[in-house]
């Protein structure tokens, strides 16, 4: 069993700290009684305030209909402790299995959306659909992060970054160049 991550409120305008370095994330969704989880590697921060994230959910994903119908999702960041679960989620379909049950993950109630948080992830960002202008053409969704939950700690746990072909880069050492930044550029 994976350890639960006790999370605290986190400013939505600062989610770039966790998403900009490019981790694979787990997107959880709910519509009616159905929930699902998918892996996602194609996403980018778009704005601090409102806190906007753009991401690609291709039509092969069972989650797509839950996200479209509910207009919401939760973006959860897993650490390398969940590597095999992340791979398993990406290689199964929510049309066939209940992913929470199958992978032993715990759905926690979100505050602002119906989609559940994944307790075992160290960061969970509640998202509402903000703009679907590019959904039909590119499957590109723009979400607003309306609530952020992050496990406290001086530095983030080790994350997974997909490279294709079954390989992941894991996060390494953190370095600071803060003193070389102009204040407005941090």
**Which residues contribute to the site for a second copy (CB under 8 A)?**
14, 16-17, 20-23, 41-47, 52, 54-56, 83-84, 87-88, 90-91, 131, 133-134, 137-138, 140, 142, 156, 158-159, 161-182, 185-186
Whether 52 and 90 have beta carbons less than 8 Å apart is answered as no
In angstroms, what is the minimal distance from the CB of 78 to a second copy?
13
Residues 2, 5: Cα–Cα separation, whole Å: 9
d(CA 184, CA 186): 6
Strand partners, 28: 37, 74
Q: State the minimum distance, in angstroms, from the CB of residue 161 to a second copy.
A: 4
Residue closer to a second copy (CB basis): 4 or 48: 48
Nearer Cβ to a second copy, position 8 or 173? 173
CA dist 36 and 30 (Å) reads 7
Taking the complex as a whole, the smallest distance from the CB of residue 109 to a second copy amounts, in Å, to 29
CA distance 103 to 101: 6
Q: Which is nearer to a second copy, 42 or 107 (by Cβ)?
A: 42
Q: In angstroms, give the least distance from the CB of 61 to a second copy.
A: 11
| Residue with smaller CB distance to a second copy, 31 or 43 | 43
Count of C-beta atoms within a 10 Å radius of residue 21: 13
Task: Give the nearer residue to a second copy in terms of CB position, either 108 or 144.
Answer: 144
Q: State the minimum distance, in angstroms, from the CB of residue 104 to a second copy.
A: 17
70-105 exposure pattern, b = at least 16 Cβ within 10 A, e = fewer? bbbbbbbbbbeebeebbbebbebebeeeebbeebeb
């Amino acid at each position: 069993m994976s350890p639960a991550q006790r999370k605290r409120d986190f400013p939505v305008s600062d989610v770039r700290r966790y998403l900009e370095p490019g981790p694979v994330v787990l997107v959880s969704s709910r519509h009616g009684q159905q929930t699902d989880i998918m892996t996602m590697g194609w996403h980018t921060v778009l704005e601090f305030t409102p806190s906007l994230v753009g991401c690609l959910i291709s039509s092969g994903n069972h989650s797509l209909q839950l996200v479209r119908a509910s207009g919401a999702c939760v973006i959860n960041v897993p650490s390398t402790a969940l590597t095999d679960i992340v791979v398993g989620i990406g290689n199964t379909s929510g049309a066939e299995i209940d992913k929470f049950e199958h992978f032993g993950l715990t759905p926690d109630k979100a505050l602002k959306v119906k989609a559940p948080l994944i307790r075992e992830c160290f960061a969970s960002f509640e998202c509402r659909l903000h703009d679907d202008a590019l959904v039909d053409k590119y499957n590109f969704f723009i979400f607003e992060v309306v609530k952020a939950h992050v496990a406290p700690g001086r530095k983030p746990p080790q994350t997974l970054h997909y490279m294709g072909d079954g390989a992941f880069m894991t996060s390494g050492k953190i370095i600071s160049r803060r003193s070389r930044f102009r204040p407005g550029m941090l």
